[in-house]
Amino acid sequence: DIVMTQSPDSLAVSLGERATINCKSSQSVLSSSNNKNFLAWYQQKPGQPPNLLISWASTRDAGVPDRFSGSGSGTDFTLTISSLQAEDVAVYYCQQYYNSPTFGQGTKVEIK
Amino acid sequence: QVQLVQSGAEVKKPGASVKVSCRASGYTFTVYGIHWVRQAPGQRLEWMGLINAANDNTRYSQKFQGRLTFTRDTSASTAYMELSSLTSEDTAVCYCARAQGSGSYLIDYWGQGTLVIVSS
């Protein structure tokens, strides 16, 4: 299985400031057949299921605010929240879907 | 809109089996697959497997081989997950989730989750 490792485990950011979450995969999730990274980001609020934010490493899902952006390729990826809002408090997970899906351990984002 | 509605919480004794249902609406059931993912307390999300709702093909995580069964009823747009030989380590919230294609590993919509508690 591909192991997904996120950093940090938690972070506290002031309202309006930038939050950055990193995700590293134990092997590349970049497909040579379509040149796409099989990497998604999800947001999970307490008591709720995960919600898809970004697929293919950088494509925002419909309705996701543009303050959320994804970047990276191969084995190293980043989720950035450009200006943290109160409603962004959640745990964020990366997931590879290159083969049998695996998830990172999650990063808890809080307000400083 | 796409909705996945799961059955209610279950409490089971060790050694028993549990069956969770997932009723889909808002899309054509047989065009997409259904994943099952669980989350034990304080643990990361764990993929259990996938059923292709069109042709009933299944793929199971090796971790659960032999005690996990996925089925589906296309007339009711419902998928089922049955896990047998339960132990306390199976205590978790189980989610069904839609694959973005019939066999895609990308998940786009999730059910609300079903809490499974295994306790003597």
Q: Which of B4, B35, B37, B44 to probe by mutation at the A interface, max A CB count within 10 Å?
A: B44
Which tokens go with B108?
Answer: 């786009």
Contacts of B35 in chain A (CB under 8 A): 101
- Average pLDDT on B8-18 reads 98
The answer to whether residue B112 neighbours chain A at the CB level (below 8 Å) is yes
B37 has a pLDDT exceeding 90: yes
Q: What secondary structure letter does DSSP report for A11?
A: E
Which pLDDT belongs to residue B101?
78
Nearest to residue B116, comparing CAs of B4, B5, B6, B11?
B11
Which pLDDT belongs to residue A16?
97
Contacts of B111 in chain A (CB under 8 A): 49
Identity of the residue numbered A38: F
Between B101 and A56, the higher pLDDT residue: A56
Answer yes or no: do B47 and A101 touch at CB < 8 A.
yes
Share of chain B above pLDDT 70, in %: 99
Which pLDDT belongs to residue A71?
98
**pLDDT tens-digit map of A19-48:** 999 999 999 999 999 899 999 999 999 999
The per-residue pLDDT of chain B, averaged, comes to 95
**pLDDT tens-digit map of B65-96:** 899 999 999 999 999 999 999 999 999 999 99
**pLDDT tens-digit map of A41-73:** 999 999 999 999 999 999 999 999 999 999 999
B103 has a pLDDT exceeding 90: no
Tabulate helix, strand, coil % of chain A (nearest 5): 5, 50, 45
Name B100's Cβ contacts closer than 8 Å, sequence gap at least 6.
A55, B32, B106, B107, B108
Answer yes or no: do A51 and B110 touch at CB < 8 A.
yes
- Average pLDDT on B94-116 reads 92
For A:17-46, CB contacts with B below 8 A are 38, 40
Answer yes or no: do A103 and B47 touch at CB < 8 A.
yes
Share of chain B above pLDDT 90, in %: 92
Q: Which helix (H) or strand (E) holds A85?
A: none
The answer to whether residue B55 neighbours chain A at the CB level (below 8 Å) is no
What pLDDT band is residue B104 in, cutting at 50, 70 and 90?
Answer: confident
B4 has a pLDDT exceeding 80: yes
For A104, the closest of B44, B97, B110 (CB atoms) is B44
A6 has a pLDDT exceeding 80: yes
